[in-house]
Amino acid sequence: MTQAEDKSGGAKKSAKHKKKKKKKEKRAKAAALGVHKEAQKPKVDVETSHENKPLYEDFEALSKYLTDVSGKSQDVVREFFAKQGDLRGASGELPADPLNVGEAFQEMMKGLAADPATVMQRQFNLWGDYAKLMASMSQQMSGEDVKPTIEPETGDKRFRHPAWRENQMLDFTKQSYLIFARWLETTVSQLEGIDEHEKSKAEFYTRQFIDAFAPSNFAMLNPEVVEVTIESKGENLLKGLKNLLEDIDRGHGELAIRQADLDHFKLGENIATTPGKVVYQNDIMQLIQYAPTTEKVAKRPMLICPPWINKFYILDLQPKNSFIKWLVDQGRTVFVVSWVNPGTELRDKTFEDYIKEGLFEALDAVEKATGEKKIDTIGYCIGGTMLSTALALMAKKGDERINSATFFTAQADFTEAGDLLLFVDDEQLGAIEKQMDAAGGVLEGRAMATTFNMLRSNDLIWSFVIDNYMKGKSPAKFDLLFWNSDATRMPKKVHLFYLREFYQHNRLAKGDMIMDGENLDLGAVNIPVFMQAGETDHIAPYRSIYRTAKLFGGDVQYMLAGSGHIAGVVNHPDKKKYHHSTNSALPATIEEWQSNAQRHPGSWWSYWLEWLGGVSAEEVDARIPGDGGLTPIEDAPGSYVNVKA
């Protein structure tokens, strides 16, 4: 090797070393900015000067894309409004404060004004927390390894991107928000001298406020949104705007957030597909009988009463997670009530009508179809509330057609019914009644869906705002969320009776409910009862279900499943998900029950089926829909379930 070649080789090695060092420094810088490894090479034109910059660092490119999108957005908005007439939400037809939030916050402000010393102390606490944050951030900037002043709660998905930890600006923003959120919630919860109901309302809506103003809900602060914006050159924002305008159009001026692809699922084709026939119908329901898959079936048929707040096919989503299909495969003759999506012509139907024309006529029809006088039943959510009310009425009338009752997350005692109790004071019920009158005597399905979504706003509202409108994602093809979006209307008298008699006054649990001239008493119900509850149920809390279990006079089995109002129920054994706890005793308190309960992995369905076999064990030849005393009307899932709200 010549001296020149040696020098050349050394120069090459030196250049290579410098290049490696430069790349290493760039990777370290990217890590400091909190950028994913795979995101360090944005999908942008190679001609630009931004191609090698980490996504979250490339604000020059971001600015360019936002400018381009701004011009296109104006055209999209202009075109949208050119096609629209008057929008109901913007025309003043909707009440300004339908939930009486203002009154709750007025009470809160009075409470704060009445105790200035506590307010001042709370203010000092806030300043102290911020001082700690500033000190820790200063140490962090100087290179020290510092423990965060405050961390998000376990399971908080809003701050899962590494940038929320690794980028100092975002870390500071996140911790500032969490400190203020904790301070505000604590301040409201410690208020004294105000009405407890108004205080609870103030706490609930304070949480709504806190959730709404999370930094993750702002596009320029959300690192996931920034990354997508640079990768797509701003097309995500344009697509998000189109999604937003489509949802406003679909909601006739109100924002109707899509949680799932509403065009992908077709009832009877790829969802609600278990074979069966509609064998009976009246004004408020269709009765479906499912085709058997076994040669022998249980002698006593099973009648399922789902809630009329939602549609029945939550129990028949797809074959892999269908409770109805699974139950048919276990050798049960299954019938399900499919409630009508009521129009204004049914506005005068009552809760008692739903019992008599819904449950009682369904019992009559099941007897005609099978010849059996004794029937096992399931009631889900409000369908279970109706079933328990009907059982108390049947006990008074000497009607013994129901052999056993299973309740899926269904309340009859509403003492501890959770945050939904906040919506049932006189002012709010009056506002709901006016809303139903304006709609012709029915509650629009979206109104109830919005209430339920508010109970878990981060998961059911803000996550979709980010995905749909900021990231510009197309809605997911998710069967459960499709069902959740398929809301139904409710007749005015039925819904107001439910809210006033159960939630507001708790008359059934107190023994004060009068129906059909009878004073109802659940203690007179002596049939076998199985009660399922969910550990994280935010609609029917497990403590409330336990109080309900204590009301019945016969043998009651209480079982606590993992997860919540939906996933705690719809949990196919093949999935091997969650867990369930059992205890054959029913002591005075839920704490005593839990202390002696046994925890088992997986679904509770098989455990329940074993219980059902103990109270309904005889077998007969399988029954085909139409072979009995009823002529099939149409194929399952029927026509009532296809009526959209």
- Are the CB atoms for 439 and 432 separated by under 8 Å? no
Q: What angle do CA 630, 631, 637 make, to 5 degrees?
A: 100
Q: Are 376 and 300 in contact (CB under 8 A)?
A: yes
pLDDT in tens, 164-211: 998 889 999 999 999 999 988 888 888 777 777 777 878 888 888 889
> In this predicted structure, what is the pLDDT of residue 89?
43
If one counts every other C-beta atom within 10 angstroms of the C-beta of residue 553, the result is 14
Neighbours of 200 (CB within 10 A): 16
Q: Which of 70-74, 117-121, 211-215, 475-479 has the lowest mean pLDDT?
A: 70-74
pTM of the model: 0.78
For the chain, percent of residues with pLDDT exceeding 90:
55
Residue-wise pLDDT tens digits, 321-379: 999 999 999 999 999 999 999 999 999 999 999 999 999 999 999 999 999 999 999 99
**Phi, psi torsion values for 605, nearest 5 degrees:** -55, -45
Going by C-beta distance under 8 Å and a sequence separation of 6 or more, which residues neighbour residue 241? 73, 76, 77, 469
- Cβ atoms 544, 413 nearer than 8 A: yes
128-152, pLDDT tens digit by residue? 888 888 888 888 888 888 899 999 9
Q: Which residue has the tokens 């085709």?
A: 291
Q: What is the overall mean pLDDT for the chain?
A: 84
Task: Tell me whether residue 634 is in a domain.
Answer: yes
- Which backbone phi and psi does 472 adopt, to 5 degrees? 70, 25
Q: Which two tokens stand for residue 7?
A: 């020098």
- CA dist 547 and 380 (Å) reads 17
Does residue 171 belong to any structural domain of this protein?
no
Contact 123, 169 (CB under 8 A): no
For residue 602, is it within any domain?
Answer: yes
392 in a structural domain: yes
User: CA gyration radius for the chain?
Assistant: 29
3-state secondary structure of 234: coil
**Average pLDDT score over residue span 375-390:** 98
Which range (32-36, 477-481, 493-497, 590-594) has the least confidence? 32-36
The runs of H, that is alpha helices, within 294-344 are 323-329
What own/partner pairs with CB < 8 Å and gap ≥ 24 does 610-616 have?
A: 611/530, 611/557, 612/376, 612/404, 612/406, 612/530, 615/376, 615/403, 615/404, 615/528, 616/298, 616/299, 616/300, 616/376, 616/403, 616/404
Query: According to the 3-state scheme, what is the secondary structure of 355-400?
Result: HHHHHHHHHHHHHHHHCCCCEEEEEECHHHHHHHHHHHHHHHHCCC
List the catalytic residues.
381
Choice between 449 and 402, residue whose per-residue pLDDT is larger: 402
Q: Is residue 455 part of a domain?
A: no
Looking up tokens 């376990």, which residue turns up? Answer: 154
CA distance 623 to 29: 70
Residue 325 lies in a domain: yes
Q: Which residues contact 473 (CB under 8 A, 6 or more apart)?
A: 236, 467
Structural domain boundaries enclosing 314: 276-418+514-642
pLDDT of 515: 96
Q: Note the pLDDT of residue 41.
A: 37
pLDDT higher than threshold 70 for residue 502: yes
How deeply is 480 buried, as exposed, middle or buried, from its count of CB atoms within 10 A (0-12, 13-18, 19+)? middle
Tokens of residue 461, six digits: 């509202």
* Sign of the four-CA dihedral 213, 215, 220, 223: negative
What is the predicted pLDDT for the residue at 40?
Answer: 39
Dihedral over Cα of 537, 538, 539, 540: its sign: positive
- Quick check: is 261 in a domain? no
pLDDT of residue 28: 44
Kindly report, residue by residue over 586-620, the tens digit of the pLDDT.
999 999 999 999 999 999 999 999 999 999 999 99
Name the one residue in this structure whose structure tokens are 């336990």: 546
DSSP, residue by residue, 450-517: HHHHHTTHIIIIIHHIIIIIIS-PPPP--HHHHHHH----EEHHHHHHIIIIIIIT-HHHHT--EETT
For the chain, what is the domain count?
Answer: 1
Q: List the one residue out of 518, 486, 512, 483 whose CA is nearest residue 355.
A: 518
Residue type (1 letter), 644: K
Q: What is the pLDDT of residue 206?
A: 85
Q: Classify residue 414: in a domain, yes or no.
A: yes
Q: Could you tell me the CATH number of the domain that includes residue 335?
A: 3.40.50.1820
CA–CA distances in Å: residue 337 to residues 38, 61, 282, 378: 51, 57, 11, 11
Rounded Cα distance, 524 and 503, in Å = 22
* 61: confidence class by pLDDT, cuts 50, 70, 90: low
